[in-house]
Amino acid sequence: MQLMVAELRRDEGVRYSIYLDTAKIPTVGVGHNCRASPLPQNWVCPLTDAQVDQLLMQDLQATFAQLDAKLPWWTSLDEVRQRVVCNLAFNLGVAGLMTFKTALGAMQRGSYAIAAAAMMNSAWYRQTGQRAQRLCYAMEHDVMLNVVPLVYTSNA
């Protein structure tokens, strides 16, 4: 869980005040969608570190529950690839992740190079930069790098 939290903090960033994300959704903390899950009424911004951590833990638990319901096989993946799936779900929402049918099918079969190639063949990949490159590399190689090679292309 510590690695997942650290990776999401790196990839989502940490904000203590509400801002509009790229989709114009009010967001705070570590990618917490305030439209989908409003802050408790007695909370005011800027949030404290404890509040940011509490939101992140709640969001992760909700993400895990949705993944368990929609992709029950995801927990059979090795730990690095589980973090990739969770990171994708956190970034896209589980509904968005479910549109990655080719990648998900390949993951379920253990065809990780094909899964990475399918992830790379998406608008998400073109729009997400280093995060997408790291996640694709991790999916294919079972290693989460802090920095990806200058140009990463899948072996698929």
What lies within 8 Å, CB to CB, of 50 at 6+ separation is: none
- CATH number of the structural domain spanning residue 104: 1.10.530.40
- Which range marks the domain in which residue 41 is found? 2-141
Is the residue at 147 inside a domain?
A: no
Is the residue at 149 inside a domain?
A: no
pLDDT tens by residue, 13-48: 999 999 999 889 999 999 999 999 999 999 999 999
Quickly state the pLDDT bin for 153 (edges 50, 70, 90): low
Closest residue by Cα to residue 28 from 58, 69, 62: 58
Per-residue confidence (pLDDT) for residue 140, from 0 to 100: 97
pLDDT tens by residue, 49-87: 999 999 999 999 999 999 999 999 999 999 999 999 999
Single-letter code of the amino acid located at 61: Q
Mean pLDDT of the chain: 94
Q: pLDDT > 70: what percent of the chain? A: 94
Is the residue at 155 inside a domain?
A: no
Is the residue at 118 inside a domain?
A: yes
Is the residue at 34 inside a domain?
A: yes
Total domains present in the chain: 1
Per-residue confidence (pLDDT) for residue 154, from 0 to 100: 62
Is the residue at 125 inside a domain?
A: yes
Over residues 86-110, the mean pLDDT reads 97
Residue 147 scores a pLDDT above 80: no
